[in-house]
Structure 1
């Protein structure tokens, strides 16, 4: 135990606040798994209507290599099945196939113990006949007095026109209570119906890098610029997003022995810092501009 104290003290004093966890799970859509003996696939952490393949319906959410940053993204396409419209639908929850298209059971536990500030990601959209896409997130808290879930916060947008290139969405949560959320509901669909209220077969939505952002670890000296720096972790990279370029900006990682193990210049507003080759363990990172640290955090490399 005594040998661990220096490392623990290092992390207590060397950084302030932690990096964003990836919530929702698998929001980068790098992992997909076969279900029902390969009859359909789904991204772990999400539910889709692909389960309707059990009754012969087509898959409406698929893995695609048309991704903005890493290897894969999610492709949602609205299709028909014996006259029934099946939208491309990604959501956090479960599905009761016995109820058909009415089987969506929303909500998953939210265990981050934080109040995220934004619902973010990247998308592009190709609607048919005035259709619209919807990106929606809601945070809940169970009310022990009423026995129901209260809505804590919500963020949402509709996409009403063609968006042919990947574009970032950044939706600030509107909070209605002071509660810490304990469950969440995220819905992403290729067909919201548009002005007609009717979804259209053939509408296609691509999404990637979907997450809840909590802006932490900020040094007040840099004010509004620094508090918009985002750091996201994937299995292969530490992704750094800047509101604008920093003067002589770079990121540096340190191991438990306080040794610098990686340094990379931040010459673009979005930089993917490779971490897959680092030994497994905890690392502190510093983002610096003109020699001054503007953001600190921690990253765990797991093998």
Structure 2
């Protein structure tokens, strides 16, 4: 019940309107609101500070993953929360709704995490559409990552698992400093801090501009995954299976890279090639 109440509060904030597409996914833009900073385009629970709820999302300009800022989400003691039917251990949470017209294959983001006790963090995303027949939203695909202790910035890739064949109209992204707030366990621990930055949603149809600029070609040959680029560049390759697990991640500098995939189980995988200049190409392949 407490989880439902908290998600309901966030849903009210989200329903106040997002007509824009993917606002401030790099968490660079923040607006000061009273005594706290709020990430533009994202919703938090900071607005409840008027009722004694602690600030759980803060701007980090000291050590962002990239650019000038990132977001720190902190699980905090909330003595006012029982009045809302919530636990006193309130996790940090950011959420954003993005209008879409198709299903993405993966979502990348940068993160680091300092948990307390056995706590874990989570990033969860779902594609939905409004079904006029039932008068409610239907979930079309989901993807999530459960995050453990990690003191340095790293990139995570989340794969989406289709649940319907319908066309989604909304992507909702959640990030929380304690995964129990979304999934019920483990217990949120006061002091756990999740830092997030640079969310990137990868759709299956690469733009002609990106395809031309990166010129990536991905194929398999004799147990190897081969990636070739039009021009030499610094790039990172991520291979994600259909459960959302990243099975291979490798960075290289050049116009060609070969990854040994003989130890990888046969199946369909999503390959994301991300260059340091911001271009990305996402392709699905079958590894035998």
TM-score, length of structure 1 as denominator length: 0.60
Per the alignment, residue 186 of structure 1 pairs with 173
**Residue aligned with 2:40, SS:** coil
CA distance in 1, matches of 2:108, 2:188: 24
Alignment of structure 1 residues 214-253 onto 2, 5 Å: 214-215=203-204, 216-217=206-207, 218=211, 222-224=217-219, 241-243=235-237, 244-245=251-252, 247=254
Does structure 2 conserve the Cα–Cα contact (< 8 Å) formed by 1:40 and 1:51? no
1:183 deviates by 1.7
CA distance in 1, matches of 2:216, 2:29: 39
TM-score, length of structure 2 as denominator length: 0.63
1:24 deviates by 3.4
Between Structure 1 and Structure 2, which shows a larger proportion of strand residues? 2
Does structure 1 conserve the Cα–Cα contact (< 8 Å) formed by 2:56 and 2:76? yes
Could you list the per-position Cα deviations for residues 53-106 of structure 1 after superposition, in whole angstroms to 9, with x for gaps in the alignment? 1123321100102111211100011111227222111112xxxxxxxxxxxxxx
**Residue aligned with 2:196, SS:** strand
Q: Structure 2: which 5+ runs fail to align? A: 1-19, 81-87, 220-224, 238-250, 257-273, 283-288
Alignment of structure 1 residues 64-79 onto 2, 5 Å: 64-65=60-61, 66-79=63-76
Cα 1:196–1:146 shift into 2, 3 Å: closer
Cα 1:130–1:79 shift into 2, 3 Å: same
Q: Structure 1: which 5+ runs fail to align? A: 1-21, 93-107, 230-238, 250-268, 274-284, 288-293, 296-303
Give the alignment partner of residue 48 of structure 2, picking from 45, 52, 69.
52
Does structure 2 conserve the Cα–Cα contact (< 8 Å) formed by 1:135 and 1:156? yes
Cα 1:24–1:241 shift into 2, 3 Å: farther
List 4+ stretches of structure 1 deviating above 6 A. 225-229
**Residue aligned with 1:223, SS:** strand
RMSD of equivalent CA atoms: 3.3
